[in-house]
Amino acid sequence: MSQKFLLPALSLENVSKTFYRGNESKQALRDVSFTIEQGDFFGLLGPNGAGKSTLIGVLAKTVKLNSGTIKALGFDLETQWRQFKMCLGIVPQEITFDPFLTVYDTLRLQSGYFGLRGNQKWIERLLDVLDLSDKKNSSVMSLSGGMKRRVLIAQAMVHQPPVIVLDEPTAGVDISLRHRLWEFMADLNRKGHTIILTTHYLEEAEKLCRNVALLNHGKIVTLESTQSLLKEYSKERILFSLPSELPKDFSINCTKLSDGSYCTAYGSPENLHTLLNELSKVGLMPEKLEIGKANLEEAFIRITGK
């Protein structure tokens, strides 16, 4: 069946959430609407405080939304919660377990939460895939951070959800485990699961996600395929690094990236010439300079202005 006749994996319509504390209020989500197709690998990106965790909290029903409609495979979050929660497996950012339970019992209890009996076979399979089989009788408390994170993933998947939401799954995880988790997520996606990922690692989004949405100040500022986003921002860009900071009043608009390098529009060879001239006027000479494709970080910084 063609993709367009399938129900969306997830759809949000005019979702808003404001937190109130005393006289203060904070609007964390502002009229957010978007749709994620089944089978997608979707990245939800945004700077700190953009509203990503609030959105995931809303999906887990730990945060109550003020207005709007959310559906998972056509099931409504408010009126069809039982079916809704069966569609979704949410891997939270925070590690929250009963530390005294064993890994196996944690997963058995979670199966009970979904009303599943006789789930042993699937639990064993999850333990195997996540390389936790030899830890199944260990208390969660005794595991390393990376292992705990894998238990969180297993816990979110005990009911074999078609849609998996991962909130910063690789935060604080060492590079080799991060690569293994990437491979695991890509494999789940190949097997037909829709994956929704929030991440601060733009390299991760660029590598894995087919489509990305950028959330900023509680609003979706862009939503498109990773490739077309990169294409749009890959035109006309010069990347350069300097031995010291660029003066604040520098005549050419340049964006500073997280690794300390700068980027600016390329346009034409004339612009490169002007840039080099202007840099030399302030006594700076680029240490490294290249013209080429932008990465997601640059696109992201240019869109959000951060």
Ligand X SMILES: Nc1ncnc2c1ncn2[C@@H]1O[C@H](COP(=O)(O)OP(=O)(O)OP(=O)(O)O)[C@@H](O)[C@H]1O
Interface positions with ligand X (CB under 6 A): 19, 21, 26, 28, 46, 48-54
User: Taking the complex as a whole, how short is the minimal distance between the CB of residue 166 and ligand X, in angstroms?
Assistant: 13
Q: DSSP character for 31?
A: E
Q: Which is nearer to ligand X, 22 or 192 (CB)?
A: 22
Q: Which is nearer to ligand X, 17 or 178 (CB)?
A: 17
Q: Which is nearer to ligand X, 91 or 143 (CB)?
A: 91
How many Å separate Cα 192 from the centre of its chain? 19
User: Taking the complex as a whole, how short is the minimal distance between the CB of residue 77 and ligand X, in angstroms?
Assistant: 17
Phi, psi of 51 (to 5 degrees): 120, 10
- At position 104, the amino acid (one-letter code) is Y
C-alpha 248/C-alpha 242 separation (Å) is 14
User: Taking the complex as a whole, how short is the minimal distance between the CB of residue 22 and ligand X, in angstroms?
Assistant: 10
Q: Which is nearer to ligand X, 54 or 211 (CB)?
A: 54
C-alpha 71/C-alpha 88 separation (Å) is 11
Q: Which is nearer to ligand X, 21 or 117 (CB)?
A: 21
User: Taking the complex as a whole, how short is the minimal distance between the CB of residue 123 and ligand X, in angstroms?
Assistant: 30
User: Taking the complex as a whole, how short is the minimal distance between the CB of residue 280 and ligand X, in angstroms?
Assistant: 40
User: Taking the complex as a whole, how short is the minimal distance between the CB of residue 64 and ligand X, in angstroms?
Assistant: 11
Cβ(184)–Cβ(190) below 8 Å = no
Q: DSSP character for 235?
A: S
Q: Point out which residues pair with 133 in neighbouring strands.
A: none
Three-class SS state of 165: strand
C-alpha 46/C-alpha 217 separation (Å) is 9
- Residue 148's nearest CA partner among 89, 90, 204, 94 is 94
Q: Which is nearer to ligand X, 57 or 89 (CB)?
A: 57
C-alpha 209/C-alpha 186 separation (Å) is 9
